[in-house]
Amino acid sequence: MIYVTKRVKWAMSHRLGRGYSGSCTNLHGHEYYADIKVGAKMLNQQGMVVDFKLLKDVIGSFLDFIDHAMMDSEDTQLKKVLETIGSKTKTVPFNPTAENMAQWMLDELNAGLVEFGRLYDFSLEPREVKVVSVKIYETATSWAEAVTDDK
């Protein structure tokens, strides 16, 4: 396998629930970083795993939903108030930990890669191009990583 990695960042607030009782139940924010690693069995004729432009567009369309949003795992009063004042929110079916977000992002970006690959007429399947890992940093010293397990 040959790999390329793209680093991106976004700002987001969130709060943890679902039985969690620490200080992260309070609304707070992070400047997140993610390293998105894409692998291929072989390079294309232009010598690429994937065009960085395509990768940037796939990731960008995903980040549009969460950048500068408040992420929560359920529809809460807080969410309703934020939406009333025009603030961006994102409800997800999981506790928005870095671990859950990394797995979600891995799945969504792989689906996006297929969609954009088709749109850009960029050959992915014969070379088995896929997002193999997403590493999300909540801080410079704390991160979670989700890895594709179908090797």
What count of other Cβ atoms lies within 10 Å of the Cβ of residue 60? 12
Provide the residue type at 43 as one letter.
Answer: L
> Token match 């994937």: residue?
50
Using CA atoms, how far apart are residues 138 and 151, in angstroms rounded to an integer? 27
Rg (CA), the chain: 17
Of how many residues is the chain composed? 151
130 Cβ contact list (under 8 Å, min separation 6)? 38, 39, 110, 113, 124, 148
Residue 110, C-beta contacts closer than 8 angstroms, at least 6 positions apart: 130, 131, 148
**Residues with active-site annotation:** 24, 68, 138
